[in-house]
């Protein structure tokens, strides 16, 4: 369904976290060190409360680290506002403005003031079509299903054309069939745009399906990284095996 073309050309950026430190008021310090190669897809796993969302929020610029650096390719984005980082993020839900149509929500990915050129409008329409929402551009998010709303959020990512995409449990509220469709779509988008992807998931099947690499976080630190298959097999580090319970066996 998707093809890379002139307007949506392949790209991805290396992502590096260097001694990135952050502490919530009254919490203990989290510290992240990570390097992701351009266009890799990385699954981020770990127990509830371990810091997965916090790490993504730091990368996106929604939280500020107390020290350390975030590099996207060789650009230091640590102190840049979110919209200047080249990072898109999709959450579990509430990715769309309820009072704006699908078209407008997607258009925001190109212009925050929705001043769109003819070319922008064309790209918005193409993106909406690519995620399978043709004919639904005039709808408000409230009249879409949960899966369709997540598709609209992906269409916005397409027009943003950022080299890094962060997915914070984007499939968690979807049933199994819809989840599969979304995974297919994410794979297709990745083939077309080659963005570097970090995806938080609690489901080892999602990790296996999409991500070559896996990062395991515990208590605010990355305690294991490696190839997804290897880490998910028996013999994974103790903390990861414990977290996975019986689910690690292929
Ligand atoms: N705004 C906040 N203020 C204070 N503490 C917070 C805040 N947000 C998160 N925390 C705490 O920071 C820790 C890490 O939270 P985070 O949301 O990053 O975990 P997570 O791994 O994404 O969890 P989950 O899998 O449940 O979504 C938790 O102990 C959480 O209670």
pLDDT greater than 50 at residue 5: no
Residue 90 covered by a domain: no
Number of folded domains in the chain?
Answer: 1
User: Ligand 1 centre from 50 Cα, in Å?
Assistant: 7
Tell me, what's the pLDDT at 220?
Answer: 97
Split at pLDDT 50, 70, 90, the class of 245 is confident
Which range marks the domain in which residue 37 is found? 12-84+168-173+202-250
Ligand 1 test: best mutation among 46, 51, 219, most atoms within 8 Å of CB?
A: 51
Q: For 106-137, what is each residue's pLDDT tens digit?
A: 999 999 899 999 999 999 999 999 999 999 99
Split at pLDDT 50, 70, 90, the class of 240 is confident
Please state the ipTM of this predicted complex: 0.97
pLDDT greater than 90 at residue 62: yes
CB neighbour list of residue 64: distance below 8 Å, 6 or more residues apart: 22, 58, 79
- Whole-number average pLDDT of the chain: 90
User: Ligand 1 centre from 36 Cα, in Å?
Assistant: 23
Three-state DSSP at 26 gives coil
Radius of gyration of the chain (CA): 18
Q: What is the mean pLDDT of residues 27-32?
A: 97
214 bridge partner residues: 43, 226
Q: List the Cα angle 240/244/246 in 5-degree steps.
A: 130
Atom 13 of ligand 1, nearest CA residue: 49
User: Ligand 1 centre from 220 Cα, in Å?
Assistant: 9
CATH code of the domain in which 48 resides:
3.40.50.300
Residue 220 covered by a domain: yes
Atom 24 of ligand 1, nearest CA residue: 48
CA distance 157 to 162: 7
Residue 214 covered by a domain: yes
pLDDT greater than 60 at residue 3: no
pTM of this prediction?
Answer: 0.91
Tokens representing residue 170 in the block: 């984007």
Task: With beta carbons less than 8 A apart as the criterion, state whether 214 and 235 touch.
Answer: no
pLDDT greater than 60 at residue 217: yes
Q: At what angle do helices 176-193 and 146-160 cross, to 10 degrees?
A: 10
User: Ligand 1 centre from 22 Cα, in Å?
Assistant: 12
User: Ligand 1 centre from 54 Cα, in Å?
Assistant: 6
User: Ligand 1 centre from 24 Cα, in Å?
Assistant: 9
Split at pLDDT 50, 70, 90, the class of 213 is very high
Atom 4 of ligand 1, nearest CA residue: 24
Ligand 1 test: best mutation among 24, 25, 89, 207, most atoms within 8 Å of CB?
A: 24
CA distance 106 to 64: 27
Residue 241 covered by a domain: yes
Kindly give the number of the ligand 1 atom that is closest to the alpha carbon of 220.
Answer: 14
Residue 222 covered by a domain: yes
Tell me, what's the pLDDT at 6?
Answer: 43
Residue 197 covered by a domain: no
User: Ligand 1 centre from 53 Cα, in Å?
Assistant: 7
Is pLDDT larger for residue 214 or for residue 237?
A: 214
Alpha helix positions (H), the chain: 52-60, 102-107, 118-130, 146-160, 176-193, 204-210, 228-232, 238-244
Split at pLDDT 50, 70, 90, the class of 246 is low
Residue 118 covered by a domain: no
Q: Which residues have any ligand 1 atom within 6 Å of their CB?
A: 24, 27, 46, 48-54
Residue 160 covered by a domain: no
CA 42, distance to chain mean position in Å, is 10
Atom 31 of ligand 1, nearest CA residue: 49
Q: For 70-108, what is each residue's pLDDT tens digit?
A: 999 989 999 999 999 999 999 988 899 999 999 999 999
CA distance 88 to 83: 9
Atom 7 of ligand 1, nearest CA residue: 24
If phi > 0 it is left, if psi is from -120 to 50 it is alpha, else beta; for residue 27 that is beta
């Amino acid at each position: 369904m998707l093809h890379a073309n002139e307007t949506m050309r392949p790209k991805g950026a290396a992502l590096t976290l260097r001694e990135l430190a952050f502490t919530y008021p009254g919490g203990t310090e989290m510290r992240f060190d990570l390097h992701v190669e351009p266009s890799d897809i990385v699954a981020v796993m770990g127990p509830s409360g371990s810091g997965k969302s916090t790490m993504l929020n730091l990368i996106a610029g929604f939280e500020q680290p107390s020290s350390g650096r975030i590099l996207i390719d060789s650009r230091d984005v640590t102190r840049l506002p979110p919209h200047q980082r080249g990072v898109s993020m999709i959450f579990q839900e509430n990715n769309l403005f309820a009072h704006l149509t699908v078209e407008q929500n997607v258009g925001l990915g190109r212009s925050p003031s929705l001043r769109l050129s003819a070319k922008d409008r064309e790209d918005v329409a193409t993106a909406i079509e690519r995620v399978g929402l043709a004919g639904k551009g005039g709808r408000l998010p409230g009249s879409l299903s949960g899966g369709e709303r997540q598709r609209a959020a992906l269409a916005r990512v397409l027009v943003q054309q950022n080299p890094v995409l962060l997915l914070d449990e984007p499939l968690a509220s979807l049933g199994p069939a819809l989840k599969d469709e979304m995974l297919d779509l994410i794979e297709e988008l990745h083939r077309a745009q080659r963005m570097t992807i970090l995806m938080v998931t609690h489901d080892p099947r999602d990790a296996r399906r999409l991500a070559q690499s896996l990062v395991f976080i515990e208590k605010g630190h990355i305690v294991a990284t490696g190839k997804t298959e290897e880490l998910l097999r028996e013999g994974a580090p103790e903390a990861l095996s414990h977290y996975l319970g019986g689910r690690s066996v292929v």
